[in-house]
Amino acid sequence: MPIYIALKEPNINLIVAGDICDKDEDFYDRLFNHGVIMQKDRDGMLLVIPIWKESNISFMKAVTEEEVKKTEAEIEKRKKEAGQGGGGRNTIVRPDMTFPGKRRGGGITL
């Protein structure tokens, strides 16, 4: 079962191969210097949350293969939309704004 890892800096998310089990609580507690909270989310999947601010990991969560495939499909869809001028997150758009001016017709158009 893959593990979803959310990093603080840089603000990126990773999906890695692995597993989080109830019996791994001691392992993660030692890994994060006895500063970890391990709990289950609403779906029953385990979450590992480091509490030390020095840790660059926000949380680690066990995810299913179906969730990974769904996320990959959404990413591909966004890439296609951005490539077709769909206004994706990475698309640079020129704003349609004017600065007020003394002229009658308005101001300076960007």
**In the chain, which ranges are continuous DSSP H helix?**
25-31, 65-83
Q: Is the pLDDT of residue 95 over 70?
A: no
14, 47, 57, 65, 108 from 62: Cα distances, Å: 12, 7, 14, 10, 53
What is the mean predicted confidence (pLDDT) over 81-106? 62
Task: Please write the tens of the pLDDT for every residue from 18-53.
Answer: 888 888 888 888 888 888 888 888 888 889 999 888
Q: Would you state the pLDDT for residue 13?
A: 86
This prediction's pTM: 0.63
What is the mean predicted confidence (pLDDT) over 88-106? 62
Q: Residue ranges per domain, the chain? A: 3-83
Across the chain, mean pLDDT equals 79
Tokens found for residue 48: 């590992």
